[in-house]
A and B are shown apart, each in its own frame.
Chain A
Amino acid sequence: MAWLASPPPTANTDASIASDASAVPDASGALATPAPRTARHNGTHPASERPMIEVRNLRKEYVMGTERVIALDRINLDIARGQICCIYGESGSGKSTLLNQLAGMERPTRGGVRIGGIVVSRLDERELAEFRQKHIGFVFQSYNLLPGLNAVENVAMPLMFRGVPREEREARARAMLRRVGLGKSLNHYPSQMSGGQQQRVGIARAFVTRPQVVFADEPTGNLDSKTKVDIMDMIRDFARENGQTIVLVTHDDHMAAYADRIVTLLDGRIVHDTEQDR
């Protein structure tokens, strides 16, 4: 496959992504009704063999004043289904930028990202929103719960965006909250909860839609070491249970230890890529 083959560094990678995207006419619908090419691909290989996340020759530049900052360059990365992949690096290494590209929060300058066969970097705003609703979960460093909603409502929010009726989604949210050990704080507001509790709500919110991929950006960055362990255990257990793919961004060595694979970034490039046995 042309798209999967690493293009020569000098090649116009935009064009290669574009030609591939044209083979997937309705990117957002690709999972439901695979385009012919994807179907053929799936026909020859079991779906699970195809990487969940494929990154090809990704480059991201920012313009800061008159200066051009290259945040990411020549990133090529495949993450298998069910893998817990840690993107490790010091601050400023470009790991958060990479996460943004993966989740479709920002458009890459060059190159492309595919998740579950969908070329994320080519989706428009509305398609991206639907894509996130269906396939992506987020855990943030600063929890990012909505202060005006209680725990149940916060967890149920992604389901609300999908149009799930209130009773059903709140039932699911309550079940999820019980699983993260917050059965007694269902109606608490974020301001009434500790950081660890808030992050549990955040985890419940990320997993309540049973997404294929969960992105976690320094999920334990603001927590004490005991809570960190709880939180990471929780994320790992959920992921294992449903075969979900986790992309964990951290600069914490202990957290990296939870991962199947550690991709180390330095100055916007991948410098190490190690799988570890668990």
Chain B
Amino acid sequence: MRFSDLVHLCRQNLFRRKSRTILTVLGVVVGCCSIVTMVSLGSGIDEQNKQMLASMGDLTIITVTGANNTGGMGMADGSGTATARIDDKAVKDFRSLQYVAGATGHVTYLDAILTAGPANRYVDQNGVIEAIDMTQFDAMDYQLDSGRKPNRQGDVLAGQYTAYDFIDSLRPESDNFRMRPSYLADSCTPEQRAEGCEDKSDAQDPFFNILTTKITVGAAQTDDSGNVASSSTPTASNGQTAEGSGSGTQIQVSGLLKEDNGKGQATSSGLLMDIAALKDLVAKIHPDAAAGTLAYDSALVRVQDIDHVADVESQIRTMGFTTSSSRDMLDSLKEQTRSIQLILGGIGAVALLVAAIGIANTMVMSVTERVREIGIMKALGCTVHDIRAMFLVEAGAIGVIGGVIGCLVSALISLAINLIRYGGVSAEHLQWAILGNGTGDEAARISVIPWWLYVFAIAFATLISLISGFGPANKAVRVPALDAIKSNQ
């Protein structure tokens, strides 16, 4: 018997028992849908994690935060904790480790007030100034948002959102700041808007362009207890602050850094400069403070690739330092994701199993119902092999049809889930949901179906159908040809 004839017969048989075929296929569709949807939620978690990690910045950075007391004591050669200080020598040692792309000491200076604009009306009371070894700028993979790279000793870079930290001291308190776009809600309903909600459409540029405006760095007024004066309200000290310091130094920002939380706060809000430049600056605005106090508070080490982070980190620890990196979090995140995916996949598999039982039931019924037909066919010379093939093709067809429809339905379900998560249908949301090319937290999909999942689901549904059709097919084969003649209607 030819395969085309088998397919033709199978089509006729399935068509003849339309309602039963439809119900069985429906069972497969549900099973297939649940497995695809469940796994897609699992891969959605993956995508969300990926987006989240991307927003956390460079994952190859190890932050060395200080001496590791236990590690230091463990060193029996007597070098002890005393040598485990973050200094130029330690940074050099880090740089010489295998797989290390770059390393730099890191200084944070908090005692500054930044002002800008006419009459220094724009004030940032909590100006953060960080300093690194600028020769490591590329090796550490700092990224620029705009402007140019630091190529001279005194070049200063600003964080991506530094300009938003300035308040306009001449405006009323309720309206003296500009919100970073990323802090605004995606969208506000009219009711929320009435209560003061602002969304992306309300985003405004900062008061001034930080790349073209000179910034004055002044010393923060400290009170007796050593707290920075900014604890008093900005409006109360408006204007006075900058003038009061008297010793402000003007600087020009040459470039805007891209936010990267792995590389210090200055990439987001603050200023970044070379360590020598910071020393000069501090000497100018705080003549009484000794420049020597500007010790490294930490060191940043960048590893060539993420696979070697653990290795390098443990080497630095044995040198007697405490470190932190995203590795631990990454590991636990992966583990958590995997167990959730297993649970979701399990639920889907149960549904497909139920569908398989449904197929087996249909096929058993089909054999029982067709005992007579099978007998006739055998009497007319149909081989046992062909009869088995006939039933397997039928079962397989149910699986393939159910699998394909199931995949289409799952695609729609997945689309719907994502659109609901995005909060509505729009061209942009559709693009994010279908192509998955949205970036940032707000574009992460809840349900992601990779192409192989469709292939797998259809293959799995077909396989399950064939397996559950196998028993009934063998039962059909054993029907004695005699029954065709014996059973008179």
Query: Which residues of A does B touch, CB under 8 Å?
Result: 96, 99-100, 103, 105-106, 125-126, 129-134, 136, 138, 140-142, 144, 146-149, 157-158, 160-163, 165-166, 205, 217
The contact of B380 among A96, A130, A132, A165, by CB within 8 Å, is: A132
Q: Is the CB of B384 within 8 A of A129?
A: yes
Q: List 18 A-B contacts (CB under 8 A).
A: A96-B485, A96-B486, A100-B482, A100-B485, A125-B383, A125-B384, A126-B385, A129-B382, A129-B383, A129-B384, A134-B381, A138-B380, A141-B488, A144-B485, A146-B373, A158-B381, A161-B382, A166-B2
Q: Is the CB of B372 within 8 A of A144?
A: yes
| Contact pattern, B 367-399, Cβ under 8 Å of A = 1, otherwise 0 | 000001100111111111110000000000000
Query: B5 contacts the other chain (Cβ, under 8 Å)?
Result: yes
- Size of the B side of the interface (Cβ < 8 Å), in residues, is 30
Closest to B17 in A: A148
Query: B426 contacts the other chain (Cβ, under 8 Å)?
Result: no
Closest to B486 in A: A96
- Minimal beta-carbon separation of B1 from chain A (angstroms): 6
Q: What secondary structure prevails in chain B residues at the interface with A?
A: helix
Closest to B375 in A: A144
Q: Is the CB of B376 within 8 A of A144?
A: yes
Query: B247 contacts the other chain (Cβ, under 8 Å)?
Result: no
- Docked pose: A138 CA to B482 CA in angstroms: 12
Query: B484 contacts the other chain (Cβ, under 8 Å)?
Result: yes
- Docked pose: A142 CA to B1 CA in angstroms: 26
Closest to B372 in A: A144
| Contact pattern, B 463-489, Cβ under 8 Å of A = 1, otherwise 0 | 000000000000000001110111111
Query: Which residues of B does A touch, CB under 8 Å?
Result: 1-2, 4-5, 8, 12-13, 16, 372-373, 376-386, 480-482, 484-489
- Docked pose: A205 CA to B380 CA in angstroms: 9
Closest to A141 in B: B488
Q: Is the CB of B4 within 8 A of A166?
A: yes
Provide the residues of chain A in CB contact with B481, threshold 8 Å. Answer: 105
- Minimal beta-carbon separation of B394 from chain A (angstroms): 12
- Docked pose: A141 CA to B2 CA in angstroms: 30
Q: Is the CB of B482 within 8 A of A106?
A: yes
- Docked pose: A134 CA to B377 CA in angstroms: 14
- Minimal beta-carbon separation of A39 from chain B (angstroms): 26
Q: Is the CB of A166 within 8 A of B381?
A: no
The contact of B484 among A144, A165, A166, by CB within 8 Å, is: A144
Q: Is the CB of B489 within 8 A of A142?
A: yes
Q: Among B1, B16, B381, B386, which residue has the most Cβ atoms of chain A within 10 A?
A: B381
Q: Among A100, A140, A161, A165, which residue has the most Cβ atoms of chain B within 10 A?
A: A161
A103 with B379, Cβ < 8 A, contacts A125-B384, A129-B384, A161-B386 known = yes
Q: Is the CB of B2 within 8 A of A165?
A: yes
- Minimal beta-carbon separation of B314 from chain A (angstroms): 68
Q: Is the CB of A161 within 8 A of B380?
A: yes
Q: Is the CB of A148 within 8 A of B384?
A: no
Provide the residues of chain A in CB contact with B382, threshold 8 Å. Answer: 129, 161
